[in-house]
Amino acid sequence: MTQVEIGRGKNGRRAYALDEIGIVPSRRTRDPEEVSIAWQIDAYRFDLPVVVSPMDSVVSPKTAIEVGRLGGLAVLDLEGLWTRYEDPTPLLAEVAELKGEAATRRLQEIYDAPIRDELIGRRIEEIRAAGVTTAVRLSPQRTVQHHKAVIDAGVDIFVIRGTTVSAEHVSSRAEPLNLKQFIYELDVPVIVGGCATYTAALHLMRTGAAGVLVGFGGGASHTTRTVLGVVVPMATAISDVAAARRDYMDESGGRYVHVIADGGMGTSGDIAKAIACGADAVMVGSPLARAVEAPGRGFHWGSEAQHPELPRGKRVEFGTVGTLEQILHGPSSVADGSMNLMGALKRTMATAGYSDLKEFQRVEVVVAPHTS
């Protein structure tokens, strides 16, 4: 790919965000009702290619059950409030009332409580009892400590998610998580990430992961770009990781690893473009933080926001627009792409002439810089 000269001593690739590309319709159109947006990872099939981000502002055991009933998958954060407190509802209400910078300080205090293995088991059992697929998240730093409680409780899908996850973490202070050995010893599919480059994704795929998260998570609520200077625009990141998936299939003799775009998708158009770039599914938070059932009560924050030493996220106010069902399936009462996300995805695919998600990954795209 063409290198751009940043200065005499540094070159870099031109990378593209989702709002800088556009989907090109083909010569054929379809009836949106005849389009399939079903997605399957390992033995688990979902009617929607939507994975809800492991954020306390969006996912509680109750909302995880509701998202599962609606055809998607919600991931409960096992380092969140639901595994630190018997009943975090009063604390969630308090967070919604905090003002400005006080929110970050208070979040750090609230999340300082220890994670309790008995609550991990209880929350997983609560979701399993409802008959929906159960998915939970731990960071790489806490996976070794708490994974036994997760497996004993009977989780279906294990998500290891951090701002950046690599297969070759180096540390002289502690024994790093050996992803390849860890995944090999588990009997459940594991999704790992985030990553944003071809090479990092290929290494994660070689660990045996069933899926790889693309992006640094957090989306609208993270400040990783400001705090760390780390950013790879999502359209380019997804396309690069999709290329790694293709090459890994050849390398492994046909093993398919799912690519899940994680973060930076606030509207239905963003979701469609992420899949057009090669994603099998999307992990979203902010669109569903606007649901009346969301635990954050119209506010949104991720695990980066309460880091005790270097917060890389903030609490964002979105307000509410409708129920989870209305946001996912409609009907929509607004024209900004924040409701009926799946109806919009079906219509995009129908307009472009594609009948399922794998076909739609081949759609033509163009560079179309966003103008307001």
Question: Which pLDDT belongs to residue 169?
Answer: 45
Preceding peptide of 219 cis, ω within 30°: no
Instruction: Evaluate whether residue 230 is within a structural domain.
Output: yes
Integer Cα distance of 52 and 324 in angstroms:
11
Three-class DSSP labels, the chain? CCEEEEECCEEEECCCCHHHEEECCCCCCCCHHHCCCCEEECCEEECCCEEECCCCCCCCHHHHHHHHHCCCEEEEECCCHHHCCCCCHHHHHHHHHCCCCHHHHHHHHHCCCCCCHHHHHHHHHHHHHCCCCCEEEECHHHHHHHHHHHHHCCCCEEEEECCCCCCCCCCCCCCCCCHHHHHHHCCCCEEEEEECCHHHHHHHHCCCCCEEEECCCCHHHECHHHHHCCCCCHHHHHHHHHHHHHHHHHHHCCCCCEEEEECCCCCHHHHHHHHHCCCCEEEECHHHHCECCCCCCCEECCHHHHCCCCCCECCEECCCCECHHHHHHCCCCCCCCCCCHHHHHHHHHHHHCCCCHHHHCCCCEEECCCCC
Q: Find the mean pLDDT for residues 160-174.
A: 59
Q: Give per-residue pLDDT as tens, 62-89.
A: 999 999 999 999 999 999 999 999 999 9
Integer Cα distance of 57 and 288 in angstroms:
9
Whether residue 217 is predicted with pLDDT greater than 80 in this model: the reply is no
Most confident by average pLDDT, 25-34, 77-86, 226-235: 77-86
By mean pLDDT, which of 54-63, 212-221, 342-351, 356-365 is the weakest?
212-221
Q: How many domains does one find in the chain?
A: 1
Question: Which pLDDT belongs to residue 140?
Answer: 87
Contacts of 263 (CB under 8 A, 6+ apart): 53, 194, 215, 216, 217, 218, 219, 222, 234, 283, 285
Q: Name the residue range of residue 221's domain.
A: 3-367
Q: What are phi and psi of 3, to 5 degrees?
A: -90, 140
Residue 283 CA to its chain's centroid (Å): 3
In angstroms, the Cα distances linking 255 to 203, 205, 207, 245, 247 are 14, 9, 12, 9, 10
Sign of CA dihedral 67, 72, 78, 80: negative
Q: For residues 192, 22, 284 and 225, what is the CA-based torsion angle, rounded to 10 degrees?
A: 70
Question: Which pLDDT belongs to residue 171?
Answer: 42
Q: What is the largest CA-CA distance in the chain?
A: 61
Sign of CA dihedral 220, 222, 223, 229: negative
Q: Give per-residue pLDDT as tens, 12-28.
A: 889 999 999 999 998 88
- Per DSSP bridges, beta strands 21-23 and 44-46 are unpaired
- Per DSSP bridges, beta strands 281-284 and 50-52 are parallel
Task: Specify the higher pLDDT residue, 108 or 341.
Answer: 341
Contacts of 138 (CB under 8 A, 6+ apart): 78, 79, 146, 147, 150, 158, 159, 160, 161
Whether residue 165 is predicted with pLDDT greater than 80 in this model: the reply is no
Whether residue 113 is predicted with pLDDT greater than 60 in this model: the reply is yes
Q: Hey, what are 46's tokens?
A: 């979902």
Integer Cα distance of 129 and 68 in angstroms:
12
Instruction: Evaluate whether residue 23 is within a structural domain.
Output: yes
**The whole model's pTM is what?**
0.92
Check which CATH number belongs to the domain holding 125 and give it: 3.20.20.70
Question: Which pLDDT belongs to residue 2?
Answer: 74
Whether residue 221 is predicted with pLDDT greater than 90 in this model: the reply is no
Instruction: Evaluate whether residue 372 is within a structural domain.
Output: no
Q: How confident is the model at residue 180 (pLDDT cuts 50, 70, 90)?
A: confident
| Average pLDDT over the chain, rounded to an integer | 90
Instruction: Evaluate whether residue 118 is within a structural domain.
Output: yes
Q: Give per-residue pLDDT as tens, 299-345.
A: 998 776 666 666 667 788 899 999 999 999 999 989 999 999 999 99
